Amino acid sequence: MIGKLLFAVGTHRRAFVLASSWAFANAAITAAINPLVVKLLFDQGIAAGDVRLFLGVGAGALTLVTLLRLSDLGSQLYARRLKNRMSADLARRLLGAYYRLPYEQVLRDGEAYYLSRTYDEAKNTAEPTVDVTLGIARDVALLLGGTSVVVLLSWQLTAVLGLVTLVLYVLSGRFARRIQSQSKDEQEEEARLRGVVASAVRAYRTARIFDLVGASLRAFDAQFERFQARLYQRVRNAELYGTLSGMFLGWVELLVILGGGYAVLTGNLTIGGLMGFMNAYWFAVNGLRRLLDAVPRLSQLAASANRGAKMLAQAEEVVARGEAAEGSLALQGVSFAYDGREVLNSLDLRVVPGERVLIEGPNGSGKSTLALIIAGLLGPSTGSVARPQSVSALIEPVFFPPLPLRELLPPGQAEEGVSLAARLGLLEHLDRTFDSLSLGQKKKFGVLVALLKDSDCYILDEPLANLDPDSCQTLLELVLERTRGKVLVMIHHGADQIRGCFDRVVHLTPPALHPATAEEPQG
């Protein structure tokens, strides 16, 4: 379990150890000194009538408590800074892992699912890891410090504490495994619930216009019910564990009080010794109780850390799928299916440098899937793909990180990018984010970025959509100019006006209608 928690710590182990040690030291000093001060005050101060000793010990204790409180404040502020750094680092690692996952997996789970995985899980793993670990450090210190004083004052009653620890250790182990398993299922259902909610929110207009509010709510209810069922199972076991451990501790506390009183009555323990013993005993028992209460949270954290570590392990470097070819693009017998539904069937396509190919076809004919395969984001179910070393692709739908447009321009090409932006009428928008642009402006900027990448092969998916005739002409001229001598594959609907700009037109048809493609030479 410790190894799983260290996953959230990442590169901050030294700071993490310091924070834990700081918390441990504060609690250990408190648990060891406080009972002895109480014993000294009662046995040597009050019972012996030594006012000077009583006041001196009291002043020293007050000074020590003040210093410990200030030290604890510093410990908590240090821990807060550590939590901030760990949360940001873990979220960044998970987001980086998301970009390395196979695109098929991203399509299967949905983008909203990974929103929950990269942000929510990072926040719900890193911060609780620090809180729980520092809490455990304090509680272990209280248990050890209190137990040491208890042994010093009465070894017989210490045996009772040892029995308590043994029984509760067995009890915690039994419930911890169960809670960890249930926490993993709960977190998976919560991530899926986040995906359902995100999809429902995005569907605002269609839900209102097409009377789909009821359907949206039914989908939410079904997933929320699955999540709540998992949540209830975990909480039920955690509450049962807390009830049983609390019940047992209550019985033992009564036995210790009776035992201490009997020791005083028989002359085996002084009043000051009993007060100090009870003080130390409460430190030890409260530390033990909080350690037991931490078991469900530890199990949840272990499940969260395990999910995060699994996501990092699944992430693979995004590499182009297929063989490298000397400038040419070649697909042979390529087929592809989504969940058993065939989209492409035995497609053959070869494009040489300097050749421009236009892809046409109705919706569902596999045009965008073909673009993803050429770009290397998807691998074919069957067949082979050979592509140039460097590929630039713009595939719908297009999104960019939430940064000003000028910061999205390729490094070292800012000046050229600004020049092209001016040519496309985007110069005054370079300090805006992509999401704030109109549809036409988004299209222009996406093509601009794709063309700025120096590549041997360019794939452009509907680059002229949502543009007025003048903008369409300007952008087409720029595409043809920047891709001269390279492989160019463009997907476009209603391409009658631009067919003459291409060497070939490839017609795709849905496999269910016709398995072949037809090519029409242009010129």
pLDDT at residue 451, rounded to an integer: 94
DSSP 8-state assignment for residue 404: B
**Torsion of Cα atoms, 377 then 381 then 387 then 391, to 10°:** -10
Domains of the chain (ranges; CATH) run: 2-93+119-186+234-305 (1.20.1560.10), 323-521 (3.40.50.300)
d(CA 330, CA 387): 6
d(CA 443, CA 466): 8
Helices 51-100, 121-153: crossing angle, 10 deg rounding: 150
Using DSSP, state whether 344 is helix, strand or coil: strand
pLDDT at residue 514, rounded to an integer: 45
d(CA 240, CA 408): 54
pLDDT at residue 420, rounded to an integer: 93
SS in 3 state form for 175-202? HHHHHHHHHHHHHHHHHHHHHHHHHHHH
d(CA 495, CA 482): 20
Q: CB within 8 A of 73, min separation 6: which ones?
A: none
Residues of the chain with pLDDT under 50: 318-320, 513-516, 518, 523
For residue 476, which of 393, 328, 366, 356 has the smallest C-alpha distance? 356
